[in-house]
Structure 1
């Protein structure tokens, strides 16, 4: 199903069931529908297609093209697009890193109530090197996002309160925010809530939250968590640390396989290209 064959009227004429079926298909098939919608000016599809290009989901990975689609969506008024343009500038996805531009984009979307932009702006203000770090302003944006139900922002509010960054420490309030983040599914919130509960003597509850955190955490966090859990001397926590490192190894193996597949696909594409001029060279000889 090529995107050239899907017109705007055809998209509008699809039933909800047809659209759901198309979008739920394998990425190589659903991407045609998303791409067609993007080319026909549907903002949400432009952002989704940009994400597909960024991740290499159903298409060859192309960060530069992803960035262009995010800009198209942002310029047309999509706050998701504005936020993703900020992410690209912050992390150098398809465009040179520019933290000032990232901050401007995040602020534009954050002011309009985009919770991910609020969280991203807070993170930039508290963590980024070579940027005007402002913990008090960062907390402001984390609180705004947390109050709108953003679990990762909740965890950051908890961290500010526990550490006493910019205000007196309040471990009790910090624990409440960690619990809210944990219940919301944020792995950092789950780990921090487990850590505070373990310190309170609620070891069984803490172990359950530690284990839950590890199952959704990114590899870098799993690696760091494993170090802390192993240092506890608690056999149950050491077992969770072992599981964390298993997930790190699995992620590394999956990434290595994906890199090999991408390299093979690129090599096959190069081999399939016609070798222009070779026949003329033979004839000249």
Structure 2
């Protein structure tokens, strides 16, 4: 069982090295519905993790233009970036330093968590997935169980969450100013579009190869048909097929006239007396 609420530290009394009294005051209703659970913990030893209710980041401004040198931007499609503008001031102290003023800005913890859960355009360069951790804790998972899943201690997990919130704080602040104009793209839809593009590119790249393969098969089939036709068509051998002389060959060509005349002359010159059948 765990209880999360937002108290104000009213006082800290260090009575001795072994005894420290901390008075917490709750005025914001964050304990509503949890009083029964709180009573069950009375007199027991508990683990208390005190986290700040807001986080700070520093933004630098060029005094000569009163414009930010660093700027965090969240675009309408949910993508985010940090830009650094060129400094227009001349050398102030002869050592390349210019007149810069720093402004500390505070961002509410709940706002940062909301941004972390909605944004998927930038990743936290740490060893945890802050979206997963915050989601599981919001669903009532025990801090120790979540820490075990990441194979780290409770304190180490809390330290990583702190780092993540500080990292996302300026982006959350920038998003809060234009949140009505921003539409975050769902991670599943993004992955689906990437897969569709990949499939399309793969299909396009395969089409020319397929066409070449089909063309090669057609050429091969045509060549085989020609070879079969040449093998099946009988040739005309003048000496072996003497009975075809004087007739039209299989291709419809008439025999030469000189051959016909020679054949007729030979028939006419034959002596009838030499005919053994007469």
Band of TM-score, shorter chain: under 0.3
Which has the larger strand fraction?
2
By relative contact order (CA 8 Å, sep 6+), the higher-ranking structure is: 2
TM-score by length of structure 1 reads: 0.23
